[in-house]
Chains A and B, each alone.
Chain A
């Protein structure tokens, strides 16, 4: 009898311990904290991304269609320092519209003041970049990319669980998430939906079509290149046999003025392929032959995105042209098209003058892209 009692007590004890061990750490059922949102209408409005005539349609992933409500939410989030640990920085801190969504720094600084190792890339036409994002292409798409800066210690230095909690308790965001994604309660606000909303906003960051280059190629009456711009255009795309081939268009092709591929453009002097201080693409693929390769950035709005290269080493376009004219430093994986060009000073200036025709101020001033909190 005594043994039976001990046996039953043991079973009960083990059961209690199992239940105790499985309970939620907080001791509070989170469902108690979930605020219902179903009283708010969910009627998302599909949003068409307006693109210039010389652009293809914007590719949109089927699991994140662009809606007015999603873009609105993404825009609030993009400009909100709620994503950072000390509420001082937002996505826009490093991606300012007036600088074509860059920050004007050689390398970006995070909330702690610590510097990163790379320059903030322009977000102009970023929705079209399907061959990896960041300088090294480590993110496959915008939905993945938008997740990363939050927890990067040299960027926003926050944790996603804390961000989710802040968004759930916010006075505005639960309603915006409901309208964008149809969530039923605040607990359904997640980092994935946050990233989706930011991605939707980023997909509308498309050229205005009002740069001089676009107006010229789209046949706007009365818009012509100057002689210098035309010579620059011809050298950029190697069109005129009378002018040298500046080899630019191979990596910066139309319409986005990038091929979204990865290149070693010869800016680093190394004794071998292991010598690159920043291995770039090589750290992602693991291939030594990708060391020192970085994504070719768009040259649209290049006049607004100094300093240049992945580490911001060149302050001016003149310095950039000087580098390419020199052919840069040899490495086995330096792109074969990076070679001494023998351009004269006038020819370099012609190319710079052509690059200036890619300036798109209306894009930077588009009201749809500005800070909604101001």
Chain B
């Protein structure tokens, strides 16, 4: 009798331990998804300091391209069920100095993503208003780590994206004609981007979603490309219109690669 009780208590203990150690997600099994950001200029990989045709008369190279992403979520196929996955992170192509690095892109891992079928990826470009404050984020937080370089007290806002480079406008192969520095921020410039995906996540297998950002499309205007000579910077309130015109193009500049 005593022997049976011991076995019974042992089984109960084992069950309790097993239950307490299993994944707590109410949605069932989960996996990871790599968001792979790749930047291009048109159909060419974007490599810092490589030269690109900007328009008929201008060639450019880029020295910095970085931006914050936020409120990343996946929307399930066949329903509007949305799974929030990431609050905020920083994507930088500043150190991309080879085609291989450009093709590898910059990766952000989304963890504990419920397995299933997804039809939409939602990404905010910039810092959402509730986080876009002068707060003491820890040095390991994406907004803490980049505060000195990206929080602009004059705006009371993080710089959501930085695009910097130089241009040769007279065809002499010297890039000293224009140095452009487009720093884009403030709450009204925040962008919500929705990207259709066809993503099947199965247990035990990580997913990959490749997000392409075509920097050239950020500068396309109805009448051609943004005039860099007239608009080399976007730092003051008076340049907000230009800044907004660049940020507004993000939804059109991003797509999911097959």
Residue numbers of A with Cβ under 8 A of B are 56-57, 59, 130, 237-239, 241, 245, 249-250, 253-254, 256, 258-261, 287, 289, 330, 332-339
Q: In the complex, are the beta carbons of B179 and A339 less than 8 A apart? A: yes
Given contact pairs A261-B149, A336-B164, A330 touches B176 in the complex (Cβ within 8 A): yes
**Total of A-B residue pairs, C-beta within 8 Å:** 68
Q: In the complex, are the beta carbons of B149 and A238 less than 8 A apart? A: no
Rounded to whole angstroms, the CA-CA distance of A261 and B164 in the bound complex is: 15
Main secondary structure of the interface of B (DSSP, over half): mixed
Residues of chain A lying within 8 A (CB to CB) of residue B138: 59
**Complex: chain A residue closest to B149, CB-CB:** A259
Cβ distance A326 to chain B, nearest Cβ, rounded Å: 14
Residues of chain A lying within 8 A (CB to CB) of residue B97: 287, 289
CB<8 Å pairs between A and B, sample of 19: A56-B137, A56-B147, A59-B138, A130-B145, A238-B154, A238-B236, A241-B238, A245-B233, A249-B152, A250-B181, A253-B152, A253-B153, A254-B148, A259-B149, A332-B49, A335-B63, A336-B179, A336-B181, A338-B179
Residues of chain A lying within 8 A (CB to CB) of residue B160: none
Rounded to whole angstroms, the CA-CA distance of A334 and B152 in the bound complex is: 22
**Complex: chain A residue closest to B163, CB-CB:** A336
Cβ distance B186 to chain A, nearest Cβ, rounded Å: 14
8 tightest A-B CB contacts, nearest first: A336-B179, A259-B149, A56-B136, A59-B139, A336-B181, A259-B148, A336-B164, A330-B176
Residues of chain B lying within 8 A (CB to CB) of residue A241: 236-238
Cβ distance B139 to chain A, nearest Cβ, rounded Å: 4
Cβ distance B96 to chain A, nearest Cβ, rounded Å: 11
Residue numbers of B with Cβ under 8 A of A are 48-49, 61, 63, 95, 97, 136-139, 144-145, 147-149, 151-154, 164-166, 175-176, 179-181, 183, 233, 235-238
Residues of chain A lying within 8 A (CB to CB) of residue B49: 289, 332-333
Given contact pairs A238-B235, A241-B237, A332 touches B148 in the complex (Cβ within 8 A): no
- Among A57, A130, A256, A336, which residue has its beta carbon within 8 angstroms of that of B136? A57
Residues of chain A lying within 8 A (CB to CB) of residue B165: 336
Cβ distance A214 to chain B, nearest Cβ, rounded Å: 14
Residues of chain A lying within 8 A (CB to CB) of residue B183: 250
Cβ distance A290 to chain B, nearest Cβ, rounded Å: 9
Rounded to whole angstroms, the CA-CA distance of A141 and B63 in the bound complex is: 26
Residues of chain A lying within 8 A (CB to CB) of residue B238: 241
Q: In the complex, are the beta carbons of B63 and A336 less than 8 A apart? A: yes
Q: In the complex, are the beta carbons of B139 and A245 less than 8 A apart? A: no
Rounded to whole angstroms, the CA-CA distance of A258 and B48 in the bound complex is: 24
Q: Please name 20 further chain A to chain B contacts, defined as beta carbons within 8 Å, in addition to the given A332-B61, A334-B179, A336-B63, sorted by A numbering.
A: A59-B139, A237-B153, A237-B154, A241-B236, A241-B238, A245-B233, A250-B183, A253-B152, A254-B153, A259-B149, A287-B95, A287-B97, A330-B176, A332-B175, A335-B164, A336-B179, A336-B180, A337-B164, A337-B181, A338-B179
Cβ distance B104 to chain A, nearest Cβ, rounded Å: 16
Cβ distance B3 to chain A, nearest Cβ, rounded Å: 49
Cβ distance A18 to chain B, nearest Cβ, rounded Å: 50
Q: In the complex, are the beta carbons of B48 and A289 less than 8 A apart? A: yes
Cβ distance B193 to chain A, nearest Cβ, rounded Å: 26
Rounded to whole angstroms, the CA-CA distance of A260 and B148 in the bound complex is: 8
**Complex: chain B residue closest to A254, CB-CB:** B153
Residues of chain A lying within 8 A (CB to CB) of residue B233: 245
Rounded to whole angstroms, the CA-CA distance of A261 and B147 in the bound complex is: 12
Q: In the complex, are the beta carbons of B237 and A258 less than 8 A apart? A: no
Residues of chain B lying within 8 A (CB to CB) of residue A57: 136
Residues of chain A lying within 8 A (CB to CB) of residue B164: 335-337
Cβ distance A270 to chain B, nearest Cβ, rounded Å: 13
**Complex: chain B residue closest to A54, CB-CB:** B134
Residue of A130, A238, A259, A336 ringed by the most chain B CB atoms within 10 A: A336
Given contact pairs A57-B136, A241-B237, A330-B176, A249 touches B148 in the complex (Cβ within 8 A): no
Q: In the complex, are the beta carbons of B148 and A256 less than 8 A apart? A: yes
Q: In the complex, are the beta carbons of A337 and B179 less than 8 A apart? A: yes
Given contact pairs A237-B154, A289-B49, A336-B164, A253 touches B61 in the complex (Cβ within 8 A): no
**Complex: chain B residue closest to A245, CB-CB:** B235
Cβ distance A340 to chain B, nearest Cβ, rounded Å: 11
Cβ distance B146 to chain A, nearest Cβ, rounded Å: 9
Cβ distance B48 to chain A, nearest Cβ, rounded Å: 7
Cβ distance B67 to chain A, nearest Cβ, rounded Å: 16
Rounded to whole angstroms, the CA-CA distance of A153 and B165 in the bound complex is: 40
Rounded to whole angstroms, the CA-CA distance of A330 and B178 in the bound complex is: 11
Residues of chain B lying within 8 A (CB to CB) of residue A56: 136-137, 139, 144, 147
Residues of chain B lying within 8 A (CB to CB) of residue A261: 149
**Complex: chain A residue closest to B148, CB-CB:** A259
